[in-house]
Amino acid sequence: MVVKVHGSVRAACPQRVLACLLEKDVEFEIFHVDLDAGEHKRPEFLLRQPFGQIPAVEDGDLKLFESRAIIRYYAAKYVDRGPNLLGNSLEERAVVDQWLEVEAHNFNDLVKTLVFQIVILPRMGEHGDLALAQKCEQQLEKVFDIYEQHLSKSSYLAGDSFTLADLSHLPAIRYLVNDAGMGHLVSERKHVNAWWEDISNRSAWKKLMELSKY
Amino acid sequence: MVESVTRRSTDRQDQKFPMATPVKVYGPPMSTAVSRVLACLLEKDVQFQLIPVNMFKGEHKSPDFLKIQPFGQVPAFQDESTSLFESRSICRYLCEKYAEKGNTGLYGTNPLAKASIDQWLEAEGQSFNPPSSVLVFQLAFAPRMKIKQDQAVINENEQKLAKVLEVYEKRLGESRFLAGDEFSLADLSHLPNTHYLVNASDRGELFTFKKNVGRWWGEISSRDSWKKVVEMQKQTT
């Protein structure tokens, strides 16, 4: 069964799902949603995703939205295929989940706001709020300091193996490093840098970068 | 069942060696994230010990606390040798570890049910929590802390929350609870913020004036588990 992913291949949240499907070697088809044309706010799309956001997936009778819910589902469904993205015991799974929540609540909003102000708004021909962007950058420095300390004791966020917790960070850090000129947040930290080099060189992520045609 | 910090027993032996429970939650019950975990523990009928953290004195930023929660936030959690933080992951852990206890359907009993619950738990975390948290702080806590309210911030977040609740209104017209026909973690996760907005602010009508959301709130907030959490919150203020 081919998983239908509704969204834009260059947007962070669909990328989170696509990276997971690629890691798990699950066949998918991307149904592009034209954000510039406001397709995600039209009634037909709102039937798929009532908050008007991407991605939304369709897999036979299953319809699901929220990228982190989607990756939890597929990582569990295909736990025996490819790399184990969940951890080997109940306790390990809980730690994976914990860092997935950290990404969702302590990391993602800061990156989203910063990228919106210094990348998206200028692209739309508007002025971003530089003071707000700077505030986000300062807060991200503190978050990355915590990651640096943590990754000095552990190769990946949840332990010795790459898991959903690391995967979930890929799209946002790509934005920071490649689009927002914020690479120093990563490169100035020895262990964060090594971790980023490792996870962004995984073949699944590289495949996604090819698909995205940056 | 709750192991309260104040012991009623007068037995000296008991006072010297309080019964140790493996499950420990660190943080004040008035914290929305802490109360999310407490509600889950009570739904699952898991005994726990609540260890106070004085946030007004900055205990959550002390070196000792940062060892168990490096972001300096509450709650922190321990279950024997397992240490966790982030309230929603603690809740998922409790449901998996104590699957056979208390409310056994809280996190679904099959992968599809679980996926739906995770979807709405994420919607709570990503769409509901940000604006409602800001409003909880501005409307319920800022006055108590003698911090000046920011009307522009209140208006902006009220509008955002109203849009989210429109989605909920439609959903709850099709489904008794957010993820399906049964109360789940997805509904539970909304209890803390909604409780403050309905009971400690003048914006409760955002919820209560909507037919389906109002019905849903009435149902989920009258669960025994939530009533006990509210009692715990009252006892510590």
* Angstrom distance (rounded) from CA A113 to CA A40: 20
ipTM above 0.90, yes or no: yes
Higher per-residue pLDDT: B18 or A48: A48
pLDDT at B19: 55
Q: Compute the average pLDDT of residues A68-85.
A: 97
pLDDT at A67 over 80: yes
On whether any CB of chain A is under 8 Å from the CB of B199, the answer is no
pLDDT at B58 over 50: yes
**φ, ψ at B175 (rounded to 5°):** -145, 135
pLDDT at B149 over 80: yes
Question: pLDDT tens across B102-137, in order?
Answer: 999 999 999 999 999 999 999 999 999 999 999 999
pLDDT at B164 over 60: yes
Long-range contacts at A142-148 (CB < 8 A, ≥ 24 apart): A143/A106, A143/A107, A143/A110, A143/B71, A144/A185, A144/A186, A144/A189, A144/A192, A145/A189, A146/B70, A146/B71, A147/A189, A147/A191, A147/A192, A147/A195, A148/A189, A148/A190, A148/A191, A148/A192
Question: pLDDT tens across A156-179, in order?
Answer: 999 999 999 999 999 999 999 999
Question: pLDDT tens across B174-227, in order?
Answer: 999 999 999 999 999 999 999 999 999 999 999 999 999 999 999 999 999 999
How far does the CA of residue A37 sit from the closest CA of chain B (Å)? 21
Do β-strands B76-79 and B2-3 pair in parallel, antiparallel, or remain unpaired?
unpaired
Q: Are A57 and A70 in contact (CB under 8 A)?
A: yes
On whether any CB of chain A is under 8 Å from the CB of B114, the answer is yes
Do β-strands A28-31 and B76-79 pair in parallel, antiparallel, or remain unpaired?
unpaired
Q: Compute the average pLDDT of residues A93-118.
A: 97
Q: How many residues does chain B have?
A: 237
Q: Are A92 and A160 in contact (CB under 8 A)?
A: no
Structure tokens at B136: 């909880």
Q: Are A170 and A16 in contact (CB under 8 A)?
A: yes
pLDDT at B183: 98
Q: Compute the average pLDDT of residues B2-10.
A: 42
Residue B20: band (very low, low, confident or very high) from pLDDT cuts 50, 70, 90: low
Residues on chain B touching A105 (C-beta within 8 angstroms): 86, 125
pLDDT at B21: 77
Give the pTM.
0.94
Q: Compute the average pLDDT of residues B78-82.
A: 95
Q: Are B23 and B47 in contact (CB under 8 A)?
A: yes
Q: Are B161 and B171 in contact (CB under 8 A)?
A: no
pLDDT at A82: 95
Residues on chain A touching B115 (C-beta within 8 angstroms): 62, 64, 69, 72-73
Mean residue pLDDT of chain B comes to 92
Helix (H) or strand (E) segment spanning residue B158 = helix B151-174
Biggest CA-to-CA distance, chain A: 50
Q: Domains of chain B (ranges plus CATH)?
A: 23-98 (3.40.30.10), 111-229 (1.20.1050.10)
pLDDT at B2: 47
Residue of B nearest to A107 (CA): B71
* Angstrom distance (rounded) from CA A66 to CA A57: 9
pLDDT at B237: 66
Interface contact flag, B85 A90, Cβ < 8 Å: no
pLDDT at A214: 81
Residue of B nearest to A51 (CA): B167
* Angstrom distance (rounded) from CA A171 to CA A128: 21
Residues on chain B touching A67 (C-beta within 8 angstroms): 122
Interface contact flag, B111 A106, Cβ < 8 Å: no
* Angstrom distance (rounded) from CA A164 to CA A159: 12
Q: How would you class B31 by CB atoms within 10 Å of its CB: exposed for 0-12, middle for 13-18, buried for 19 or more?
A: buried
